[in-house]
Structure 1
């Protein structure tokens, strides 16, 4: 079960079309948290010099109402995204992804141009905050190396993030209060958060030996008895809990989205009385002794912000799908190189006509660019719809498991 402190949340937007799926790569709000999900090995301060070629010397790839996108600007965007999402870097040279990224750059340029001075200032502040949090987690030398590998500077990163955060703020301001209330009423459970402590007794011990259900339940009841007897829950959790995601933190998951957890754990988080240690709860991981310390199930200002970001993302998706074509005047189309067909009746020497080992056959028509079997092509998955990600904080495996927005469970060891 992921640790979901507010500063480490990823946006989780339900994107269904190919644009929406690839929108998770750098979509509204998701980019706000890319710094947490991808830079587990970067650093504090980087060279702020910018050797980008002059815009006037660069080929124009697209024109739109109010401006254009140059080749230099587009390549810089592509390199920034490769830096932020190294796992997906190899996919970003495909024509499908480049075409989407160019559409995305047109959208960000256009929306930045529509933003007010106040929205631009807030966008810049948001970008600075995100980047500062990113740099606080990483090593200077590694950051410089990674930036250099993608031929970008910290200034390029700041420029891109500021533009995206300005679009975030612009779209957020298009969301009406009544829309926030309607979304919350329709999906209330998705926005409920809780501070939960738990002690997990696994069905397998530390040496990998299987426990019977009776043995597991007995150990869980013994842990509960110690807490009921007056021992500090956090102390007992640190000593006994077998959940690697929370044991060292006294069993605590703070401000976590209840909707992400497996059903039995989620039910306890939603229904147990605050401050009361419940009877052991069985999940596929073992038995949990649970104490709900806090539950937020009302439309607080913080929840309103979370709902507003979700709706803002939806508005960006709608803009990309419905309005972008209308503002685009011209746009270069990228195409993948064509491999000449083999001579009729022949196959490459040493093969039987099957795809080479380790390769992946082309996706079926209608699938999202870059979609991987078992995924929806998105960059991040399984976080609450609340505050940033989202798209990206580093998840810690924990004991309750998570549920994706498709209703399936993402199960992790030790949960």
Structure 2
């Protein structure tokens, strides 16, 4: 018997609940909570229709620790899965410590007033979780998440040392909208408009936002796409945990149309997180922009094409140089047909379910705060093939 409480009813939350419901022998009870209960109810209804599983739903303010504690005490879950916004990571970790419940999320904490993706705030919980005998698993999405596991898999089975790592994220899908983001617009835009950063010989090197690009030829007829260097949080933990790493970078594809819209919005101040006064109220322009952009969940039936996310790794095995590409390709249409969401939500929601499964089945155990690459990659890699995100590896 295992009971999971999922907090967050966006696209990723929806996929995770659907996928958990497909494995009732592991997820015997699934509870779903969010600030907006109506969103939870819509997901629960879809799950009931597709699987026959009943998902109880609740309203909760994840910023409010006492309120969250009350809900946890009522449900008594074995695991809390945080699929809310990164701003809520610390309050939910506090609630887990107070109630003695294991914790998992898909994205690292970010303060509201600064676009700063760092693990330091969550790593600071290491001793408290250890002393409480609890486990906190950080970043069980795709990137971060699967990309970390790909690196751990390569380290375990293919390399003695990995010297160079390029994580390359391509969304070759099209939703037909003038401008829209495939996950929470606020988080997405904050991520893209901050300065780029990569790991080089023991230190971080900064670049201007989207100043570096390269063309990469993606497999299986996706073809050549322009990729831009960005900072992404998994680089921070991989630089610590992957043996011999001399350089680590993260790349993402964007269309010219997307970047043109983004540049205009940035130039007129719409992407700013600095509050301005409007009608006697202080508002962040980016929050207003988020309100007028298409809801990411609405893009599911509109999006056609595929994603391709993977790691290109160069290193040494038995004294010889080796280069390996491990990747997944996911179809937007197939994801929508299965769970009613596009592939961006699917590629994050499935690993969230798998991370939860690893913890609930005891495949991954520990006391303290863990990043994905610190745990055995084999059962996770096996589960990816089984539950909708099959991977391939090619020597280059």
Q: TM-score, normalised by structure 1?
A: 0.24
Question: Greater share of strand residues, 1 or 2?
Answer: 2
What is the TM-score when the length of structure 2 is the normalising length? 0.25
